[in-house]
Structures are given as structure tokens and as C-alpha cells.
Amino acid sequence: MMTSTPRAAWLNGLRRLHFYIGLFVGPFIFIAALTGTLYVATPQLENALYQQALYGVQSGERQPLAAQIAVARQITGGQLRLHAVRPGLAGNETTRVMFADPQLGVSENRAIFIDPVTLQIKGDMTVYGTSGILPLRQWIDYLHRSLLLGDTGRLYSELAASWMWVAAIGGIALWFFTRPKRRIKNRVQRHRRWHVALGWCLLAGMLLFSATGLTWSQWAGGNVDRLRAAFGWMTPQVNTQLSGAATNPDPHAEHHMHHEMMAMPEIKPQGRQFDEVLKSAQQAGLSASKLEIRPPRRVDQAWTVSEIDRSWPTQVDAVAIDGNTMRVVDRTHFADFPLMAKLTRWGVDLHMGVLFGLPNQLLLIAFGSALCVMIIVGYRLWWIRRPASAAVNPAATLLHCWLSLSPLARALTFAVALLLGLAMPVMGTSLLLFILIDTARWKRHSRRMQWTST
């Protein structure tokens, strides 16, 4: 039996797709929401756990960065390349002297925490990324991104981000076209109302987290970067080439420059230069209390000093400084960023729970918890409404629903699915699996019915 009308085909297809997203992708969205909630809920716990390393004495004259770096180099034996320094400028915060350790993973550095007043070594541990998170949240972050399975595990989070926005919009559309005209009080409708109410409340958040999550994804993320580059939405980067070469706007330019850098001997920056560069950067207008100083790796490169305070108001200005003359050779102002670059920055920081501080954290904890509840209610609703028998209506399969559409609608939906599949390969591959599973299940049931009838 085929679907009687195109409208019924649309609804059956949407209902079937929503079912498969919930059944197969729902667990991954649940894990992403749960681990993401743990991540944004633990900054205060991390600060308390590593308080000894993060804070020094309350008052006293700060020692030069050169002296602090010298102490850190003694700890490492002088064998590791100095990657960056984050001076302790506010209150009693310690200075982080970060070294590139070949035994660590990508974006990981070994950080020596130095009391800027007493030069006492306060800690020695791995830090991660621009956020500088410490081992506790780093473990949660890896769990959130890849289930601790490396690049292979990142497919799970990309799958969740690829389908969450479809599940959200599709669920709202299903409610709009199939909601009962009168209020019915029974167990199914009660669970459905909870599921729909949570869906409406979380709609904006699910769209936002799908978009920002895809920017970090393994496959779709590259396509997002190419799209941003094509429209001039990339985040501006300071030009560190002292020869005046054009700025590369690619945020992954460091990786692309690797082979070129290997062809030229690296330089070992002097500790006193950090003090001079910091002074020049502050004189140039960098006023944030959170700064990161990166020395050049080649003689034809400039130093970079970047603001890394991503709370509100966002302070992420940066300058490039010639280490010989201490002259600012390039700079970027967040106020001058393209609108889409600003929105990307704010969206990512909101996703990480740092944009508005504690209110941002509380909002994301509430969002993540409610999303987990909505998924559980959805599974409960499916369990209550599951058919008593294993009957399979061919008209309800994704393929039959699509074939029941008008030629124009079939062409349109195919084109949209193809474009989305190319832009988000994990979505495209999983959609094909949905269709194959759906069709195989129907054919298996059909053969079983034939055997039974004979």
C-alpha cells in the first residue's frame, strides 16, 4: 500500500526520519549534552583542585619575566622549546611558562606555574588549547569531543551536531501539523506535551550548538572554514612575517607552515625579550589582564602578544612585534572584526560557557540537563507508543515516502539532501544508512509474511 497523498508522504517521511534520528543519534546527542554540561559546570571545581598551582602570594614586587622563565627552564632541563608565556598580571595569579613537549598531543603543552613574586614553582602539568584548561577539564573535553577515542571518536560528536538541528526543526514541524485539535488527557499525550514543550524551550540552543559544534568537527568543520574564507568571514590574524608577506587568515596556518619552518633553523628567544615585548604590547594598547606572549620560531618572524580574555566584553586584540626594534609591525582589533567573525567568536565562547561568566555556566547547565530530559522523555514516548506487533507498513519507509512525493518535491528534497550530505559527510553517510536499514527491515518483514502465508 502506497501513501495516498503528498501531504501524508511528507508527514510519514518526517515522522520516520525523526524516529531514526532519535533512535540512532539520540544516544550520542545525550552523551554530548551530558559531557558538555559537566565541562561547563567544573571551572570552579578545577580552580579549587589546582589552587596551589594557580595562585601565589597575595602581595609583593613582581620579578621580571626573564627570571621566571629561567626558573621554568631549569625544571625542564632546557631541552624543550618554549612555546608561550602567560604572565600572572592580575591579583596573585601565577605565570604559566608553556613548553612544546613532543610526547604530548596536539594543542597540548607542558606548563610550569611560577609565583611571579617569590619565583617559587607552584605546579607542573599539561594544559590544553587557547582556553588553557587543566587536566580535569581536559579529560572531560576529550570525553565530550571524542569519547576518549581520538580522531575516530570525533565522528560521534559530529554525528550529534549534524542531526540535532534537523531533529529540533523536524520535531517542531511534526507538532505543528499533527497536534490534536482538542486537549486529550492520557499517558501518551502527557509525555508528548513534555517532549514538545522542552523542544520549544531548547530550540534556539539546539540550533546554536549544532552550528558551533560543526565548526569544530572533523569533516564538516573544514567545509565551514572554506565557506567562511570564501565570504571573508575568517578571524583576522596578525601578520608575523617581518618581510611583509601577506597575512594568512587560516586559523590552522601553523600546521600549514610546518614544512617551511623545518627548512630554517629555529631561534632560542632570550628571557629579557619577554619583558620588553610585554611592555611594548601594553604600550600599544593591550589592556587585558590575560595575555599570551609567543616568541617567533624563525629569524624572519615577529613576536605575537594576544589578549585571551573571552568573557564579556571580549578582549582578543593582538599585536605582532619586531623582536629587534620592539616596534609593532601589525595589529588586529576585535572591534574591527567582520560581523560574522565576531558572531563566530561569541558563539564559540557561549558554547564553552565563558562569554558571560557564571550566568553563561548556569544557562548551559540548565540547557544540557533539559536536553537530556527531553531525550529520555522521547524514548519513553516511543516505548509507550511502540506497536504490539512487528508489522511494517511499506508506505511508512523513507524511500516509499519520498517516491510518493511529486516530481518537483522529489527533485528538491534530493538536491537538499545531496548538498547537506556533501557539506556534512557524516550526515550524508548516516542518512544513507537510515534508508538502507529502513528498506532492509521492510523487505525482511515482507519475506517473513510470505513464508507465513504459504
Q: Which three cell numbers stand for residue 303?
A: 613576536
Which of 288, 366, 365, 273 shows the shortest CA–CA distance to 325?
Answer: 273
Q: Which three cell numbers stand for residue 450?
A: 510470505
Q: Terminal CA-to-CA distance of the chain, rounded, Å?
A: 20
Task: Give the list of residues 6+ apart from residue 244 with CB closer than 8 angstroms, or none.
Answer: none
d(C-alpha 127, C-alpha 109), whole Å: 5
d(C-alpha 426, C-alpha 21), whole Å: 13
Which of 16, 347, 312 shows the shortest CA–CA distance to 205?
Answer: 347
The answer to whether 98 and 81 have CB atoms below 8 angstroms apart is no
Helix or strand (DSSP H, E) at 97? strand 95-100
Most distant CA atoms of the chain, gap in Å: 93
| Type of residue at 192 | R
pLDDT at residue number 141: 96
d(C-alpha 218, C-alpha 252), whole Å: 13
Helix or strand (DSSP H, E) at 108? strand 108-114
- pLDDT means per 10 residues, the chain with 454 residues, are 71 93 96 97 96 93 96 94 96 96 95 97 95 96 96 96 97 90 80 95 97 93 92 92 59 44 63 94 96 94 96 96 96 95 94 95 98 96 75 70 91 96 97 92 73 62
In this structure, what is the dihedral angle of CA atoms 45, 50, 54, 56, given to the nearest 10 degrees? 120
| Type of residue at 49 | L
Reduce the DSSP state of residue 262 to 3 states and report it. helix
Q: Which three cell numbers stand for residue 76?
A: 625542564
Task: Give the list of residues 6+ apart from residue 288 with CB closer than 8 angstroms, or none.
Answer: 307, 308, 309, 315, 317
What's 216's DSSP letter?
A: T
**pLDDT tens track for 250-287:** 544 444 444 444 445 567 788 889 999 999 999 999 99
Indicate the burial class of 108 (C-beta count within 10 angstroms; 0-12, 13-18, 19 or more). Answer: middle
* Cell 601553523, located at residue: 254
Using N-to-C axis directions, what is the helix angle for 150-178 and 26-41, rounded to 10°?
A: 110
What is the sign, positive or negative, of the torsion defined by CA atoms of 237, 242, 246, 251?
negative
Which of 145, 199, 194, 181 shows the shortest CA–CA distance to 18?
Answer: 199
Which of 305, 304, 301 shows the shortest CA–CA distance to 286?
Answer: 305
Please state the pTM of the whole predicted model: 0.89
